[in-house]
Chains A and B, each alone.
Chain A
Amino acid sequence: MRELWRQAWTIAHKDLTLEFRSRTAIVSALVFTALVLTVFNFGRDPTAVSTLDLAPSILWVTFTFAAMLALNRAFQLELENQALEGLLISPLDRRSLYWGKLLANLAFVVVVEAVGLPLFVLFFNVAVGHVLLPLLAVIALATVGFVAVGTLFSAMVVRTRFAELLLPVVLFPFLLLPLTYAVQATARLLAGRPLSEVAGWLRLLAAYDIVFVAVASWLFPYTVEE
């Protein structure tokens, strides 16, 4: 068990080092996030539609796009560096490979969200201070949900011809569900609803995460070998 974590951490550390050095994906994701939020901001008529109606959707659309950029990068990296074969020849446990990629992807998306959330608050003038903790919980849980399944699928599509196109198509229903929960929970939080109303959505998200991380972790070895 310890060995699995150690190996996963080695993979994650390597991925994050590489990302930090080349910086291509993280910069694109950050720029993209800022761009989307800005466009949404200019696009709306502040007098017509209450911010609170649209805000949750805007926030989650932005985060979802950022997550997609992260996911595409993960296994593309191995292909570009011609290293996947090496990983499979080594004694690396396949589940550790999954966990390592998952951790790296999560770190990537969290960085983008850490920049996106303040920007969001700034542009849309939404009060989040009093619900910050529950909001962060929603964001954390939903992110784990997308990234868990996305990491699994990205390992598959990377070997097909249209990887970047295929991933969103295949991932779509698996994004939509946690996204729905997250938007519902965020909307209620921002509207100042009592926490009891949000608790149910949080529980659903947590259940989704636990189940799909387990399922993806179990299925992952089948995506890299027979």
Chain B
Amino acid sequence: MTIAQKGRWLVIVGLVLLGGVYVRALAFTPVERFQGPAQKIFYVHVPSAVTTELAVILLGLAGVFYLFLKDPRLDRFAESSAEVGTVFAGIVLTTGPIWGKPIWGTWWTWDARLTSTLFLFFLLMGYQVLRGAITDDGLRARYSAVLGSCAVVLVGFIHLSVYLFPTLHPQPIVLKPSKPSLPPEMLLTLLLSFGVFLLLFTGFVMQRYAIATRRAEAFHG
């Protein structure tokens, strides 16, 4: 199977599983005490945020490797990761307000997760705008790699800052030094959701990568 075909399969499987996770989330996972049913968006919102960050880190690492190895495939991968990451960022930035409105009464809050995802969104936008402005393949790959490398470093600082900002957002409840403070059924649903989103991310990136490869071949003949 070609990469594109494998990618398509992953996406189909992922979407089916996503449906499954949602059934589980809505019917078989307890409703959260303080936030009510609206809290269930958490199972889409959180994994999307993590996936966005993963997308940025991957494109950054691909960039760093590109500077050493100069392999155009790394650049195509970075390009794909950026586009797919933007989609997931969009999901976070729309589900966030949808979650926030019933619970906190406002559409937007400057809380840790939304703010950091907004940063990631701006990084992804800047990255793609830069790519769009350069016609030469080699130059574009090199400049994207430079920008991507800076982006990865910035992500580190964003994390650092998040822990230092007072915030409205629920404090980290899973990746904490102490045990996760979610009840087991919710934790399981969340982990399943992470897995599914990872699957979807991989599938989409593979398909997008295949498009990038075909485009490069068509251009160079």
| B104 vs chain A, min Cβ distance (A) | 21
Contacts of B129 in A (CB 8 A): 166, 169-170
B contacts with A: majority SS: helix
Measured CB to CB, the nearest residue on chain B to A215 is B153
Q: Is A3 an interface residue (CB 8 A)?
A: no
Assess whether A156 is in contact with B154, with CB atoms less than 8 Å apart.
no
Q: How far is the CB of A39 from chain B (nearest CB, A)?
A: 26
B67 at the interface (CB under 8 A from A): yes
Docked-complex contact A160 and B134, CB < 8 angstroms? yes
A-contacting residues, B144-160, CB 8 Å? 145-147, 149-151, 153-154, 157-158, 160
Q: Counting CB contacts under 8 A, is A172 at the interface?
A: yes
Indicate whether A71 reaches chain B with its CB closer than 8 angstroms: no
Taking a contact as CB atoms under 8 Å apart, the answer to whether A219 and B150 are in contact is: yes
Q: Cβ of B167 < 8 Å from any Cβ of A?
A: no
Q: Are A222 and B138 in contact (CB under 8 A)?
A: no
Q: Taking the complex as formed, is B173 at the interface, i.e. its CB lies under 8 A from any CB of chain A?
A: no
A213: shortest Cβ distance to chain B, in Å?
Answer: 12
Contact B157 A219 (CB under 8 A): no
Q: Is A9 an interface residue (CB 8 A)?
A: no
Question: Judging by beta carbons under 8 Å apart, are B164 and A173 in contact?
Answer: no
CA distance A35 to B150 in the complex (A): 33
| B residues with CB within 8 A of A | 67, 70, 119, 122-123, 125-127, 129-130, 133-134, 138-139, 142-143, 145-147, 149-151, 153-154, 157-158, 160-161, 164
**What are 6 A-B contacts defined by CB distance under 8 Å?**
A156-B146, A156-B147, A172-B122, A173-B123, A176-B122, A181-B161
Q: What would 18 more interface pairs be, CB under 8 Å, given A149-B150, A212-B150?
A: A152-B150, A159-B134, A161-B133, A169-B126, A169-B130, A170-B127, A172-B122, A173-B126, A176-B119, A177-B157, A207-B160, A211-B153, A215-B153, A219-B67, A219-B149, A222-B67, A226-B138, A226-B142
Counting from the closest, the 9 A-B pairs by CB-CB distance are A160-B133, A170-B126, A173-B122, A156-B143, A219-B146, A173-B123, A173-B119, A169-B129, A169-B126
